[in-house]
């Protein structure tokens, strides 16, 4: 197959633990098979620093917790034809959203003041601004496919990708669930 016909894939890691990307790497030897049909054009696991203008499939791990996450989610939606929420944090907010039960100022003080001995104080630079409420991705942009699991297994990811490569729309509820 010529290079030009490969499906382009971009992935990003918002407010998650990277577990979903680890699961992706767990595809092991199947990554080679994947590389024959798919070109990973942007991802924490490749070197490219910028998201291309037009991508076939986008995969987002993690919830939307910061201004930066929000910006990335919007950019992915704009540039990816088909957008996938991968993992419970992306789909439901999951663990990152547990802070929603508390006021953001209390959360910041707890993390940066109350429990810190050396130079307690809220960070004022270099960190993206936290949103008051952590949201699942589809609450900020339209999402085309939801893959539950914490993290979704490599087999789940493989099944989703192979179905997509075959031109079908997979139904992940057949092989994964919340908390799987």
Partner 1 sequence: MTHPPVASNPGPKVRVVTLKIDDHDVGARETDSILEIAHANGIRIPALCYLDGLSTWGACRLCMVEIEGVSKPVSACSTTASEGMKITTNSERLKRYRRMILELLFAERNHVCSVCVSNGHCELQDLAAECGMDHVRVPYRNATYNIDSSHDLFRVDHNRCVVCTRCVRVCDEIEGAHTWDVMGRGVNCQVITDLNQPWGDSQSCTSCGKCVQVCPTGALVKKGTAAGEMEKHDDFVPYLAQMRKRQ
Contacting residues toward partner 1, per CB under 8 A:
85, 88, 91-95, 97-98, 100-102, 133, 136, 138-139, 143, 146, 148, 150, 171-173, 177-179
Considering the complex, state which of residue 48 and residue 133 has its C-beta at the smaller distance from partner 1: 133
Q: Find, among 35, 83, 21, the residue nearest to 55 by Cα.
A: 83
∠ CA 113-119-123, rounded to 5°: 65
Radius of gyration of the chain (CA): 17
**Footprint of ligand SF4 (CB under 6 A):** 178-179
Identity of the residue, 146 or 158, whose beta carbon is nearer to ligand SF4 in the bound complex = 146
| Distance of closest approach, residue 2 Cβ to partner 1, in angstroms | 35
Q: How far is the CB of 23 from ligand SF4 (least distance, A)?
A: 20
Nearer CB in complex with partner 1: 38/96: 96
């Amino acid at each position: 197959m010529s290079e030009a016909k490969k499906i382009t894939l971009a992935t990003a890691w918002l407010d998650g633990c990277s577990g979903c990307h680890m699961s992706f790497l767990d595809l092991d030897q199947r990554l080679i098979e994947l590389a024959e049909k798919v070109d990973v054009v942007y991802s924490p696991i490749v070197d490219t620093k910028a998201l291309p203008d037009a991508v076939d499939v986008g995969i987002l791990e993690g919830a939307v917790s910061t201004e930066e996450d929000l910006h990335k989610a919007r950019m992915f939606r704009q540039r990816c034809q088909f957008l996938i929420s991968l993992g419970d944090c992306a789909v439901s907010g999951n663990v990152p959203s547990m802070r929603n039960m508390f006021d953001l100022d209390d959360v910041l003080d707890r993390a940066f003041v109350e429990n810190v001995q050396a130079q307690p104080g809220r960070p004022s630079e270099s960190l993206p601004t936290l949103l008051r409420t952590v949201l699942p991705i589809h609450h900020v942009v339209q999402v085309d496919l939801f893959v539950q699991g914490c993290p979704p297994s490599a087999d789940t990811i493989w099944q989703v990708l192979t179905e997509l490569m075959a031109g079908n729309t997979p139904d992940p509820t057949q092989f994964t669930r919340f908390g799987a």
